[in-house]
Amino acid sequence: MRVVLRLEPTVRDVSSQESEVALSASLSTATALSAALDIPEEDDPATLVLHVSEYQVRHGEAAAQLDDAIEEADRLAHQAIASSYTYATDLYNEGQLEQASVAFERAELLLRGDLGPRHVLVLLSLAEIERAQGNTEAAVGWLDRALAMAPTHRGALEARIAFAQGNEEPSLAAALLERLVSRLETSGKKVEVFRAIADESLKAARNAIGQASVLMPGAVDLLERLRAVNEAAGMWDDAVSALVQLAECTSEPEQRAKLLVDAARLCSERARQAQRAVALYEAAIEDDPHVAGAFEAIESELVKVSDAEGLAAAYSRQIARLAATGDVSEQPEILRRLARIQSQALSDPVSAIATLERLLVLKPQDVSALLELAVLQEAADNHNQATQLLETVVALDPSRVDVFRSLFRLFTLARDADRSYCACSALVAVGEADLDEQLIFAQHRPETLPIAKATLNDETWQQLLPESHPSILDALAVAIEKVAFDAWYENETRTSLPPFGEKVNPQKTTVSAARCFTWAAQLLGLPEPDIYLQPAQTRIGMRILPKRKLSIELGHPVLSGWGMGDLAFLAAHHLTYARPGWRIIALLGSRDEVRSLIMAGMSVARPDIPGLAEIGSRSQEFAHQLEGRMSPEVRESLGSVVEQLMGGGATLDVFAWLRSVEETAGRAGLLASGNLTVAANVLAIAGASPGGQSAAERAKGLLAFCVSKQHAALRKWLGVAVGES
């Protein structure tokens, strides 16, 4: 029952005999009034309105007479409340929520004005019923009334916090959680609540910053705060979006690319969204193709999810971007990866071959790409292409035993017995031949000097030259050599020359070395040399004599202890220096002497060219010898070569020329002996070369030539190839 009192200020005393009802200031007096005034209880709550214009204060015994009546009224009130609460609880437990709600509301009416725990409990019960019926707003209303009476009531707080969290009211939830902490007993529970407070506070901050960003779109400070608070809250997707918005507000491409990379990394590592991460990395690369780590991250993401097609597409896009910028430094490696994906994961060897061919256009000497392409070409039955690729590999890296074995296999498939033999010869020379390869080598290696059907000419000599051979220095040397011979051998009866020993008749001699040098000269297309034997000469095995006519002196080291294969190599190697322009190398001996002579000839022909006016003292001596013997025709011819060399910006690299000539001599020796093992053994004891290369370096260079198509063509030209009748 609700009691409304309206009191007037008039007060008067009445005698104790007067029978009147005492009023209490407490609202619980409503029950007492109902009992005292004999007002029947109704099913529906009633309101008692009392308009009191005057009231009396009783004193003494008259006042005490009402105590029993008031106590009885209080007892009846408590009994009614308890009965209503019990009845309501039973209904609730039976699932009769509507009836329980009515009963609890009756109890709540009886408790109006009561701020104690009973009233709070009734309010919580009403809130629970409303929650169960889906009436969130009504439930929240009851809970708010309960918290108004008992702000730290644990049950009321927990229930209201749940509604605040469910209704996305993080600020309210955080405030209520702070109240709840004081009611918890253990540190562990308090820590959990503190974490919840932090989470709700972060949500509140996110909401506030988000709403501010809507009002001020593009505000960098707000976006940076939004990203930070999202990261702190573990809202990784939203943090990524904030970073993307920051990037969109940035006008500088490089800075925008970095922000997009940060967003992509966060998306991958925290949000676990691989596809979105890849898209962000791609966007970053569009802004800056060289942004650090972006493409590698794309590759990593796609590898993790085993997306071969996506990876191939990403490689293709990056290659196109780099090509558009003209950057070729990074393209080869990406092309290599693309080819491997196409070949291995996508089973598309045709595309892989095309990709590797693009790589080799950019990087022709990439051994790894050459090998991979050779494997693909062989698998596609393109044996000629595979062979050419492996020949290139051997030329770049003669130490690859596996390549020699692959070449042997390809030569065998092509039924090329001679090249198969040459591949076996290389494997035997490096000590890696298996039994079959050793047998093939043993079957076809020359035991005697082969009978050649042809000799080398100027055209075939070109196939002996290394690709890098500086032919322009040949032209210089030929012109200068002619004039030098005129100066040096104008009078060959000079007594200052020592005797050359016994001159042999090449047609009648039985000396193997002499016969071998004659044979080698014919094989190489050189004039038949005069051969002098010096058996007592123990220091020099062979040398080209300082005579206008090609003359060879053979000493004791060459005249004994050599097989025919060894002599064939020695003869062809040594006679190579009898080629036009190259004899000055054998005659002068040292690199410095050769360079001084060439500089002298150039300075005589064109003293007007800068750099040739002042030459060293040894060059001056040579120039003095050449000056009076250089005809105007030779001077003009030599001068044009000098101008071509110096005018084109080339340098006079005599050392490189000497190394190239030495390499050619080794090739000529191999061609004559037909045995790479013999060549390596002879070079090991033949002494230093004019080009300064060691015996091991020279032998290694012959490995590649042994299996080259040039060597095969020369053997076929001479008629010494395996299978030639």
pLDDT digits (tens, 9 = 90+) for 648-666: 666 788 999 999 999 999 9
661: which 2 tokens?
Answer: 């000539």
Reply yes or no on whether the pLDDT at 59 is more than 80: no
User: What pLDDT, on the 0 to 100 scale, is given for residue 369?
Assistant: 97
CB count, 10 Å around CB of 313?
14
User: What pLDDT, on the 0 to 100 scale, is given for residue 429?
Assistant: 94
Q: Alpha carbon of 36 to those of 71, 75, 106: distances in Å?
A: 11, 13, 21
Looking at residue 186, what DSSP letter applies?
S
User: What pLDDT, on the 0 to 100 scale, is given for residue 114?
Assistant: 75
Reply yes or no on whether the pLDDT at 109 is more than 90: no
Q: How confident is the model at residue 23 (pLDDT cuts 50, 70, 90)?
A: very low
Give the SS3 label for residue 551: strand
Q: Best-predicted range by mean pLDDT among 70-74, 211-215, 306-310, 340-344?
A: 340-344
Reply yes or no on whether the pLDDT at 52 is more than 70: no
Contact 555, 542 (CB under 8 A): yes
Phi-psi region of 127 (alpha: psi -120 to 50; beta: other; left: phi over 0): alpha
pLDDT: which is higher, 454 or 255: 454
| Contacts of range 189-196, beta carbons closer than 8 Å, 24 or more positions apart | none
pLDDT: which is higher, 590 or 706: 706
Reply yes or no on whether the pLDDT at 5 is more than 50: no
pLDDT: which is higher, 494 or 20: 494
Q: Which residues contact 629 (CB under 8 A, 6 or more apart)?
A: 483, 486, 487
Helix (H) or strand (E) holding 552: strand 551-555
User: What pLDDT, on the 0 to 100 scale, is given for residue 62?
Assistant: 60
Q: How confident is the model at residue 491 (pLDDT cuts 50, 70, 90)?
A: low
Q: How confident is the model at residue 581 (pLDDT cuts 50, 70, 90)?
A: very high
Q: How confident is the model at residue 296 (pLDDT cuts 50, 70, 90)?
A: confident
pLDDT in tens, 530-548: 999 998 888 888 899 999 8
The amino acid occupying position 37 is L
Phi-psi region of 20 (alpha: psi -120 to 50; beta: other; left: phi over 0): beta
What average pLDDT does this structure show over 347-363? 96
Q: Is the pTM of this model over 0.75?
A: no
57: β partners = 13
User: What pLDDT, on the 0 to 100 scale, is given for residue 463?
Assistant: 94
Least confident of 199-203, 485-489, 652-656: 199-203
Output Rg (C-alpha) for the chain, integer angstroms: 54
Reply yes or no on whether the pLDDT at 705 is more than 90: yes
User: What pLDDT, on the 0 to 100 scale, is given for residue 21?
Assistant: 39
Helix (H) or strand (E) holding 54: strand 47-57
Least confident of 315-319, 425-429, 434-438, 686-690: 686-690
User: What pLDDT, on the 0 to 100 scale, is given for residue 67?
Assistant: 67
pLDDT: which is higher, 575 or 66: 575
Q: How confident is the model at residue 3 (pLDDT cuts 50, 70, 90)?
A: very low
What average pLDDT does this structure show over 560-579? 93
Least confident of 92-101, 345-354, 574-583: 92-101
Reply yes or no on whether the pLDDT at 15 is more than 80: no
User: What pLDDT, on the 0 to 100 scale, is given for residue 693?
Assistant: 80
Reply yes or no on whether the pLDDT at 678 is more than 80: yes
Q: How confident is the model at residue 30 (pLDDT cuts 50, 70, 90)?
A: low
Sign of the torsion formed by the C-alpha atoms of 340, 341, 344 and 350 = negative
Q: How confident is the model at residue 43 (pLDDT cuts 50, 70, 90)?
A: very low
Q: Which residues contact 257 (CB under 8 A, 6 or more apart)?
A: 284, 285, 287, 288, 291, 294
What average pLDDT does this structure show over 121-147? 88
In degrees rounded to 5, what are phi and psi of residue 714? -70, -40
Share of the chain above pLDDT 70, in %: 87
Reply yes or no on whether the pLDDT at 2 is more than 70: no
Q: How confident is the model at residue 8 (pLDDT cuts 50, 70, 90)?
A: very low
pLDDT: which is higher, 646 or 625: 625
54: β partners = 10
Q: Which residues contact 124 (CB under 8 A, 6 or more apart)?
A: 142, 143, 146, 155, 156, 159
Reply yes or no on whether the pLDDT at 347 is more than 80: yes
Query: 344-364 burial by CB neighbour count: b if 16+ within 10 A, else e?
Result: eebebbebbbebbebbbeebe
Reply yes or no on whether the pLDDT at 46 is more than 80: no
What average pLDDT does this structure show over 270-284? 83
Reply yes or no on whether the pLDDT at 24 is more than 70: no
Q: Which residues contact 384 (CB under 8 A, 6 or more apart)?
A: none
Share of the chain above pLDDT 90, in %: 38
Least confident of 104-118, 378-392, 429-443: 104-118
Maximum C-alpha span of the chain: 180
Distance of CA 602 to the CA centre of its chain: 52
Reply yes or no on whether the pLDDT at 668 is more than 80: yes
Reply yes or no on whether the pLDDT at 268 is more than 90: no
User: What pLDDT, on the 0 to 100 scale, is given for residue 574?
Assistant: 95
pLDDT: which is higher, 303 or 350: 350
In this structure, what is the dihedral angle of CA atoms 105, 110, 112, 114, given to the nearest 10 degrees? -120
Reply yes or no on whether the pLDDT at 34 is more than 60: no
Reply yes or no on whether the pLDDT at 9 is more than 50: no
Give the SS3 label for residue 500: coil
Structure-token match 């009403």, residue found: 126
Q: Best-predicted range by mean pLDDT among 222-231, 481-490, 567-576?
A: 567-576
